[in-house]
Amino acid sequence: MTPPFQFAVTSTEPHLPFSDGYFTFVYAGSVFTHMNDLSVAWLLELRRVLKPGGRAYLTFNDTVSAAVVTKKYSGSYDQLKLQAVTTALGRTLEEVNFLCIDQPPYSSIFYNRDFLKARLGRLFQLKGVYDEAFGWQSAYLVQVGQV
């Protein structure tokens, strides 16, 4: 990647100040991991600003991330909160679509990987999933379909 880079300050409500199909690549590391509302709207907005054939590298906490947190980061804030939520719910992440831990600005969202892949697959072509690509977060490489 080389400059020029373009950044925008936005609100929590999705709208980016760029025209349709403006970018060939979007990177969103550790964004959707903390978004308990409007995540689908933001995915649609990223799709809007990507050119046909454009790609996005997005990170999420998913089922694999939960296992990594539990095994490698025992005692961490996310591991303790994940354990507390699943214990209170009486269900595991494999049994639900997602779990929201805490509220903004401290929220962490953990998705069931199959649910997340299906959700992303309705909006993009899924090109790859990479475990522990951003700390314990999994990265999802997606592409906008060609017109």
**What are the C-alpha distances in Å from 32 to residues 91, 108, 122, 138?**
22, 9, 17, 11
Residue with tokens 């994940």: 82
Angle 113-121/39-49 helices, nearest 10 degrees? 40
d(CA 52, CA 30): 24
In order along its 147 residues, the chain shows pLDDT tens digits of: 677 787 888 888 899 999 999 999 999 999 999 988 899 999 999 999 999 999 999 999 999 999 999 999 999 888 999 999 999 999 999 999 999 988 877 889 999 999 999 999 999 999 999 999 999 999 999 999 976
∠ CA(77), CA(81), CA(87), 5° rounding?
150
At residue 72, the 3 state secondary structure works out as helix
What is the rounded distance in angstroms from the CA atom of residue 30 to the CA atom of residue 78?
14
pTM score of the predicted model: 0.92
Superfamily of domain 23-143: Vaccinia Virus protein VP39 (3.40.50.150)
What backbone phi and psi angles, to 5 degrees, belong to 32?
Answer: -70, -10
Instruction: Determine the residue type at 3.
Output: P
Domain ranges of the chain: 23-143
